[in-house]
Structure 1
């Protein structure tokens, strides 16, 4: 079950970049994000109400959902989309992949979980692999104030993503399932972002082309309802540090799709990066050897 959820998350998030490209146009990016998560929240609430699986939540649960919506479905998307104005998407992918390390550190700080050395080592190896994969983009980046702004925003978005993972862990520990908390979190995130758009004077326009509507539906249903539910379920089952290795693997899927659709050419450096990413994946999910007890001496 965990493997199915893991592969599902990686494959869906690895292809959402195509839909995100189709979203660029007449509708402002923050408004498109509002449409995406508002629609996803409506779908989740409808599913939960029809199946009678919407769990009741107390005041504390709603407060955590509010914080989760702010971190996971609002600020981090704004940060990454704003960062893309100053730095290349490859660099953003490398920064975002550090979520594996941040989740391990935060799980240690907030939940007292032991940081497994093989998880940290695998995350670092995956990060190195992504650096090699995107080396052509990274090598052309000159040190400038704009680059630092972009890196800072990408890092802030990654930290918000990690914080959202921790909040989901708290909710699941309290017995609340990701579908319920995601429904409320997406609704809160879309609502807060909509208020920010109104205050900022961003118009709520709509593009009714098949390209825009189709990409919006893909981002809302597979990209949000399915992938976020699958991913946060993994956070509860496997721990946030291991589940976050998805952030290393889905850029790899995106590159393979790009090779088929846009003619991306694999280079020896990129292939070496591919090997490093896959080796990191094996290391992260390696089961530690069971600790051996003291040997009992046999009687002579």
Structure 2
């Protein structure tokens, strides 16, 4: 069982990230995706470093950490979020949240390959059940001819986002991540990601664009400060404390909250197939996560 600190972090991450999917949808109205992502992580990274400064925590990182932080920024704050934002152009915001419930599957596999963490049969059986459930959830959309192409695009983008996020998650659990201050490193990774997003946006879509609607500004601040600076600090600390697969427990309740919001505010219509898929996916993940925490190989110690 997680300790009290981990339990509080877990709950906070679920509550914050369970609402971000709907907020992201509004960010797509008029500003090119990559600019919105660049703004988000420029503000989020600056907020984290400002917090470190206020608390008297170090903000400097060694030069040797910059390649690691650049790779982390690329995978987590460039590729992952560009794929996620674009997926919501094609599918309801709650569906990527459900798909991200499977993040613990690649997290566990990559942790097994690179960190020596074992995969139990219990975990594998539950994860397989979860994959089937998510397939049934998407099957509702794929069964509609008018939406099939868009749903396939959305599914492909979400899959790419999950892989990118999983690589970043496992990087945070690696020994290399322990060689610099955690919050400062995360802040610099966000700022590096923001810079890379800005370069991408300049080349792909042109000069910066802005949406003057108050909802865009409010949503951006929420995504930058709460869903980025705060939630990523909590989540990456969970990864370091209990491991990448275990931290992905957050993926189980998040889609329940996200799909409820999508139903209430976006008019998402549930069918028996979709409901069965969601229940099956979450049940599979719960089964997988009830297994004992994986232990590292003796050779990796």
TM-score normalised by length of structure 1: 0.83
- Residue deviations 1:9-43 (CA, integer Å, cap 9, x gap): 12211111221122122321111111110001111
Aligned CA distance change for structure 1 residues 103 and 230 (closer, same or farther; 3 Å): same
Q: Which whole-Å CA distance do the structure 1 matches of 2:86 and 2:198 have between them?
A: 17
Deviation at 1:272, TM superposition (A): 3.6
Q: Deviations over 1:212-236 (max 9, x none)?
A: 1111111111111121111111111
Of residues 247, 252, 271, the one that matches 1:243 is 247
CA RMSD of aligned residues (A): 2.9
Once the two structures are superposed, what CA deviation does each residue of 1:135-170 show, in whole Å capped at 9, x if it has no partner? Answer: 422433699887666544433222111111121112
The residue matched to 2:173 in structure 1 has which SS? helix
Any conservation in 1 of the 2:21–2:94 contact (CA below 8 Å)? no
Partner deviation per Cα, 1:177-231 (whole Å, 9 max, x = no partner): 5422210110000001111222234221222321111111111111111211111
Correspondence for 2:118: 114
Partner of 2:214: 210
Q: Is 1:9 aligned to 2:13, yes or no?
A: yes
CA distance in 2, matches of 1:138, 1:97: 20
Judge conservation of contact 1:90–1:137 (CA < 8 Å) in 2: no
* Matched residue count: 289
**1:65-124, Cα deviation, whole Å (9 max, x unpaired):** 111000000011222334445666566455544321111111111111111333333333
Secondary structure of the corresponding residue to residue 244 of structure 1: helix
Equivalent position of 2:42 in the other structure: 38
- Report the equivalent of 1:102: 106
Whether the 8 Å CA contact 2:94–2:262 is kept in 1: the answer is no
Query: Which shifted more, 250-259 or 130-139?
Result: 130-139
Structure 1: gaps of 5 or more residues:
290-300
Q: Hey, which of these two has a bigger chunk of helix by percent?
A: 2
The structural deviation recorded for 1:247 is 3.2
Inter-CA distance 250–257: structure 2 relative to 1 (3 Å threshold):
same
Give, in whole Å, the separation in 2 of the partners of 1:143 and 1:209. 29
Q: 1:292 is matched with which residue?
A: none
| Secondary structure of 2:57 counterpart | coil
Structure with higher Rg: it is 1
Instruction: Tell me if structure 2 keeps the 8 A contact 1:249–1:277.
Output: no
- Aligned residue for 2:174, secondary structure, equals helix
5+ long unaligned stretches in structure 2: 294-301
Aligned to 1:79: 83
- Give the distance between the partners of 2:217 and 2:105, measured in 1 at CA: 36
Taking structure 2 as the reference length, the TM-score comes to 0.83
1:294 corresponding residue in structure 2: none
Aligned to 2:32: 28
